[in-house]
Amino acid sequence: MLFKNTLAQSSAAIASYAASIILAPVLLTRLGLDAFGLWAVTGAMVTYARALDLGVGRSLSRFVALYESEGNRRGVQECVGLGLLAVSGLAVLGLTAAVLAAPLVAHTLDVDTPEEMRIVLVSSVILGMSYAYSQVLAAVPIGMRQMVPPNVASTIGTLINLSFSLIALALSTELTDYAIANAAAGVVSLIPYFFVMARVWDGPYIAWPRMARVREILGYGVKGQATWIADLVNMEADKIVIALLLGVKVAGAYEIGARIAVALRALGVLTVSAIIPTATAEIVKRGKEVIPEFYRRYLRLSVGLSFPLFALGCVTAPFALVAWLGNVPDQSTTVLYLLAFAYAIGVSTGVGSTLAMAEGRPGLVAVYAVVSAGLNIALSIALTPFFDLWGVLAGTVIAASVGSLLFVHAYNKLNELTWGDYLGAILPTVGLCLLFSVPAVLWYVLHGDVPEERGPALLGTAAITLTFMLPYWFASSRLGLIPARLAPARLLRLRSRS
């Protein structure tokens, strides 16, 4: 069940990032780097505003799993009711702020008129709130460990957004038109989520939340939200700082490398995406004794699936960026390298942090996430005046690494685990990734030149991907670093039967 749910989560995310890959070069060509950077910055602002829901949306799937395991139907209904109330209140605040703040934002970023800025901000808010509503509706099937239907809805939503975006870009080169199309796509994409919730759960779906339930979910959600905000600081604050200090064009160049690194991180996080509701149900049934066993097993598998994605993204980057964009902005490749390193370390803590959330201890995760975010801000402020873009990146890399390793130390102490458990899970995968990266690194060292045309660059990307992934796949399956269902022999047997 856990493998099936993780695969479902991964499929939807892959579809989302595939759409992003398709859109980025079209966006750059039709709108330009300045507009591309501005859309990224306004999206980051709206993402921060979603923190005002006090963590309700992000907590719901855990509480649905808890109440459903206890047979508490009313609790599940109140979860949905509270989630819809929280998002609706946030939508009102966000739209009001977008209308009133447009002149200030336009002046601060030195782009567009206040009227155009208002359209972009309002559209970004509508798109962000549409995602928040979909998160509430999806919490029911996810909490019930039925993750295929909501991820089908997510994939449909991705296709709707991609269609609306491409049509808008074909008809217009104005950012405002593109923003309106995205807002409309977000609203339309809510329809499949409602049908998914109705399919897996009989009505009535909503109940007015009692104060005791509100306090329980908010108490958990606020701590969990601190973790999410800290992650945003480490992933989204950089582009805002860069836009304010260095301009939206530099933010756009940063966004290219960061978008790939964030996509790799998101795919890595998907390896633990189904753990919270599953582990919550297991802890209710079997007690906390399952945690060390769960940790050792799934850390090895999570790293075995996620680290090669980061390695592959780095070794193919010079070719892949040319194949993707044609003309690659300066510094984008180095941005990708540094962020991928930081995010890989963060992903290695994913099993521990999701298990802590599952057992109702979000504060443990929040403490070290806040430490990481605070260190990131301090280092960025200290280093940016001297090193510009690289000061911001150095702050992110150092802060993410230190915060992640401090969390591992604390989690080990609380669960009778050791550094040996952690290192024993990740080092075999690190060794394989380094080993199978050697052919690509040697090619770069001996030849150096990367083709400037997309066709040859695409062929180079494919060649490096094959020389890395095929040997890694066979070696990792022999060492038990990936799920048995993904082993070459298992897949070949299934194909022969079919």
Collapsed DSSP state (helix, strand, coil) of residue 287: coil
- Regarding pTM above 0.85, the answer is no
Minimal CA–CA distance to 37: which of 232, 255, 236? 255
Collapsed DSSP state (helix, strand, coil) of residue 250: helix
Tell me the pLDDT tens digit for each residue of 384-396: 777 777 888 888 8
Percentage above 70 pLDDT, the chain? 85
What CA–CA distance (Å, rounded) separates 300 from 297? 6
pLDDT band at 3 (very low <50, low <70, confident <90, very high): very low
Tokens 């295929």 map to which residue?
148
Bond before 329 cis per omega within 30 degrees: no
Tell me the pLDDT tens digit for each residue of 193-250: 888 888 888 778 888 888 888 888 888 777 666 666 676 666 666 666 777 666 667 7
**CA 416 from centre of chain:** 30
What CA–CA distance (Å, rounded) separates 276 from 266? 16
**112 dihedral zone (left: phi>0; alpha: psi -120 to 50; beta):** left
Give kind and range of the element (H or E) at residue 221.
helix 211-235
Rg (CA), the chain: 22
Average pLDDT over residues 329-350: 87
What CA–CA distance (Å, rounded) separates 465 from 235? 26
* Residue 245 burial class via C-beta count within 10 angstroms: exposed 0-12, middle 13-18, buried 19 and up: middle
* Residue 369 burial class via C-beta count within 10 angstroms: exposed 0-12, middle 13-18, buried 19 and up: buried
Residue 191 burial (CB count, 10 A): 13
Tell me the pLDDT tens digit for each residue of 160-178: 999 999 999 999 989 899 9
Residue 4 in this model has a pLDDT that exceeds 80? no
DSSP H helices, 326-418, are 332-347, 350-358, 362-387, 389-414
Minimal CA–CA distance to 52: which of 225, 295, 266? 225
Residue 179 in this model has a pLDDT that exceeds 80? yes
Average pLDDT over residues 267-276: 69
Minimal CA–CA distance to 73: which of 215, 205, 200, 218? 205
Amino acid making up residue 417: L
What CA–CA distance (Å, rounded) separates 255 from 181? 21
Tell me the pLDDT tens digit for each residue of 436-456: 999 998 888 887 777 788 888
Average pLDDT over residues 1-21: 63
Helix axes 2-31, 290-325, angle to 10 degrees: 30
Look at 8 and 51; give whichever has higher pLDDT: 51
Minimal CA–CA distance to 305: which of 498, 484, 59? 484
pLDDT band at 111 (very low <50, low <70, confident <90, very high): low
Amino acid making up residue 175: L
In angstroms, how far is the first alpha carbon of the chain from the final one? 22
Residue 22 in this model has a pLDDT that exceeds 50? yes
What CA–CA distance (Å, rounded) separates 333 from 320? 10
